């Protein structure tokens, strides 16, 4: 088989693997809590936020800035962890597939 044919088969196989991993990542989640459990953020490994939970005890109007900071911190941590998992999983598929100028 020609090297172009092999390359095309490898690319098609890699595309199938990537689609499978993307579907799996959409179901996989990470959970981060801040403020001693006052705020919990669940992020999906496809880069979206699944849910945000706030302990009712943390809903003091005078502490709005603190709550906002906890939400921001938990969300950023959850997204960073989810992205790391996604990058690792996708890297498993693309390792060994080198095209000049592609990666």
Output the pLDDT for position 100. Answer: 55
Total of domains in the chain = 1
Residue 61 CA to its chain's centroid (Å) = 32
Q: Classify residue 45: in a domain, yes or no.
A: yes
Q: Classify residue 13: in a domain, yes or no.
A: yes
Q: Classify residue 23: in a domain, yes or no.
A: yes
Q: Classify residue 71: in a domain, yes or no.
A: yes
Q: Classify residue 99: in a domain, yes or no.
A: no
Residue 62 CA to its chain's centroid (Å) = 33
Q: Classify residue 100: in a domain, yes or no.
A: no
Q: Which of 66, 30, 69 is nearest to 50 (CA)?
A: 30
Query: What tens digit of pLDDT does each residue of 56-80 get?
Result: 888 888 888 888 888 899 999 999 9
Write out the residue range of the structural domain in which residue 72 sits: 3-94
Q: Classify residue 10: in a domain, yes or no.
A: yes
Query: What tens digit of pLDDT does each residue of 12-56 get?
Result: 888 888 888 888 888 889 999 988 998 899 998 888 898 999 998
CATH code of the domain containing 73: 3.30.1310.10
Q: Which two tokens stand for residue 28?
A: 């996989």
């Amino acid at each position: 088989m020609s090297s172009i044919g092999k390359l095309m088969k490898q690319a098609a196989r890699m595309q199938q693997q990537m689609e499978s991993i993307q579907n799996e990542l959409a179901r996989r989640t990470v959970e981060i809590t801040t403020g001693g459990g006052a705020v919990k953020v669940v992020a999906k490994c496809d880069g979206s936020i699944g849910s945000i939970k706030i302990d009712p005890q943390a809903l003091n109007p005078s502490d709005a800035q603190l709550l906002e900071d906890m939400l921001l911190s938990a969300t950023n941590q959850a997204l960073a962890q989810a992205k790391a998992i996604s990058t690792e999983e996708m890297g498993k598929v693309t390792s060994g597939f080198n095209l000049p100028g592609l990666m």
